[in-house]
Amino acid sequence: MSDVRRIQLLTPRLANQIAAGEVVERPASVIKELLENCLDAGAKRIDIEVEQGGVKLLRVRDDGSGIPADDLPLALARHATSKIRELEDLERVMSLGFRGEALASISSVSRLTLTSRTADAEQAWQVEVEGRDMESTVKPAAHPVGTSIEVRDLFFNTPARRKFLRAEKTEFDHLQEVIKRLALARFDVAFHLRHNGKTILSLHEAKDEASRARRVGAVCSTGFLEQALPIEVERNGLHLWGWVGLPTFSRSQPDLQYFYVNGRMVRDKLVAHAVRQAYRDVLYNGRHPTFVLFFEVDPSVVDVNVHPTKHEVRFRDSRMVHDFLYGTLHRALAEVRPDDQLAPPGATTLTVPRPTGAEAGEFGPQGEMRLSETVLEAPAAARAWQPSPSSSGSGGSGGYSYQPTRPDLPPIQEAQGAYKAYFAPLPDQVPQALPESSQDVPPLGYALAQLKGIYILSENAHGLVLVDMHAAHERIMYERLKTAMASEGLRGQPLLVPESIAVSEREADCAEEHGAWFSRLGFELQRLGPETLAIRQIPALLKQAEATQLVRDVLADLLEYGTSDRIQAHLNELLGTMACHGAVRANRRLTLPEMNGLLRDMEVTERSGQCNHGRPTWTQLGLDELDKLFLRGR
């Protein structure tokens, strides 16, 4: 008797259970599929009821368009959907669901009841199915316009899958997170969640900016909203808007990161890389940024059909998307000034298109290693306060009026060498008593004293400002060195003995394609064979670096993302070390003019809220906080 196993068709039940293994991982997976169907049906209110973390019961009701009675059994069949008809629809997917497998997969591992009514139907109809036999029965029912779906006893017929479920609280936390993610995607829909008979979440429809901000605060915490920068930029058919957390509001885990592409929640490695690059210079080691961002693009240039759970997408021009995201976030974070941080939450929004690529002086293949004047120009909202002596003023008392002016270019631009900023002394400015009008007070105010040779105490319109003078001066010098580096360029240093490295043919082709970019960064690469490169020159500043490994890592990034920041990261690390050694040290006594000069520099320096290592450089203690310390008003 032959041992050859014959090919045969799988039974519908087994096929659906296999599909369920891809789609239905836990109750949170079920709720995601059900809610996406509600949203695709045009629902404006969704009620979710959960028992035992979703294992015993998941009930979802919406007020959407409903399902005709004749289509109810078909809704539970595999590869049956109303959302796409032909290939052209798949190339421009606008709905959240489109595979036509979710309900069939869910019903194969649970006891499912679907009740629905359309607006023109006299009554509702209900279909029931159990995982064992997959046979559906349709009968009349009472139900308003819309759809209700009950999923009971999840994995009742697949005990092995049920054993992998976690504790009730853990499963419910995952389920609640899915609801929050979808609630952020659709501000125009109300979401109400009950667990074991208790109301957990009640999010009403958000029609205006204030109510949207309230929903973001309810989902992400009010602390995030208070420490977030509103952003909105549109360019070349790409639209990015939302909220970006300040570097000081970072997290130990990437648990407060919401990114949506055309309303679809995604976790994309290209997006993650672009965001990580944008925060690289301001985030403490091991910390993760926070953001709620919405990215809108023509559906025809993004492929959402690349993963069973639809968590990943693929962009037609991934390099353009990467550069747009990185450039926009990079500039938004760079332009945060002390006066922006002191403004009420949501008071200002970045709406002016920011340059990226060559215009922004980025070090990637898409950008030149320089800073154009348009980048160095401050935004209209930015203000610097510079003293202008009056005819009657003298010394450090009176006679000086401070007027809002556009900040000048960093002094390093006038220097002959790229590294004169390393030795630049603190600017000498004259102190001034606090004016009567708070509108004339600079954001960081005027210095009062120095504490323990480490901190500067300053008074502004809001109260007391504490400044870490070493961290602040370190950031100022670091930004000047970076500006000088971008404007002066990099000098290359030829190697006495060229280094030969073995690479793949694809990596060698990539090195040839980006040869001009490598040259601008001080590298000279020569192709010796199909899979061999020679390094003949490296940047003079990186002569201590491991050139071979650096080139390998850069080529790997170029192949993966179309861009690389490793060379810039190495250079910035070196410049950061130079700035750290050149900044004022602790226990150095500063005069009041020196302190005020440092404060003024902070107000016009990019990323001055954090030092090179991501630590805060200053903090504000308002009068209300000081009053609480002394129990005033009680």
pLDDT digits (tens, 9 = 90+) for 222-247: 889 888 889 999 998 899 999 999 88
- Give the closest residue to 184 by CA, choosing from 82, 290, 280: 290
Q: Is the pLDDT of residue 38 over 70?
A: yes
- The pLDDT mean for the chain works out to 79
Higher pLDDT, 255 or 370: 255
- Span 53-79, pLDDT tens digits: 999 999 999 999 999 988 888 888 777
- Give the closest residue to 457 by CA, choosing from 609, 307, 619: 619
Tokens of 353: 């298109």
Band (366; pLDDT cuts 50, 70, 90): very low
Neighbouring C-beta atoms of residue 568, cutoff 10 Å: 20
Q: Domain 210-354 is of which CATH architecture?
A: 2-Layer Sandwich (3.30)
Q: How many angstroms separate the CA atoms of 223 and 106, rounded?
A: 38
List strands edge to edge, sheet with 57-62: 137-141, 124-130, 111-117, 146-152, 57-62, 45-51, 190-195, 198-203
- Span 169-212, pLDDT tens digits: 999 999 999 999 999 999 999 999 999 999 999 999 998 888 99
Specify the range with the lowest mean pLDDT, choosing from 188-197, 252-261, 305-314.
305-314
Q: Is the pLDDT of residue 44 over 90?
A: yes
83-87, 275-279, 376-380 — most confident range: 275-279
Q: How many angstroms separate the CA atoms of 492 and 452, rounded?
A: 44
- Span 607-634, pLDDT tens digits: 888 887 778 899 999 999 999 999 887 7
Q: Is the CATH number 3.40.50.720 carried by domain 424-634? A: no
User: What pLDDT shows up at residue 343?
Assistant: 65
User: What pLDDT shows up at residue 88?
Assistant: 66
Domain boundary assignment for the chain: 12-205, 210-354, 424-634
Q: What is the mean pLDDT of residues 110-134?
A: 86
Q: Is the CATH number 3.40.50.150 carried by domain 12-205? A: no
Same fold, 12-205 and 424-634: no
Answer for the pair 256, 220: CB distance below 8 angstroms, yes or no.
yes
What string of DSSP letters covers 36-59? HHHHHTT-SEEEEEEEGGGTSEEE
Please give the C-alpha separations between residue 227 and each of 164, 223, 244, 619, in angstroms, as whole numbers: 38, 6, 9, 13
Count of positions (residues) in the chain: 634
119-133, 137-151, 292-306 — most confident range: 137-151
The backbone torsions φ and ψ at residue 177, rounded to the nearest 5 degrees and listed phi first, read -65, -40
User: What pLDDT shows up at residue 20?
Assistant: 63
Higher pLDDT, 303 or 602: 602
Q: What is the mean pLDDT of residues 88-110?
A: 74
Q: How many angstroms separate the CA atoms of 162 and 154, rounded?
A: 8
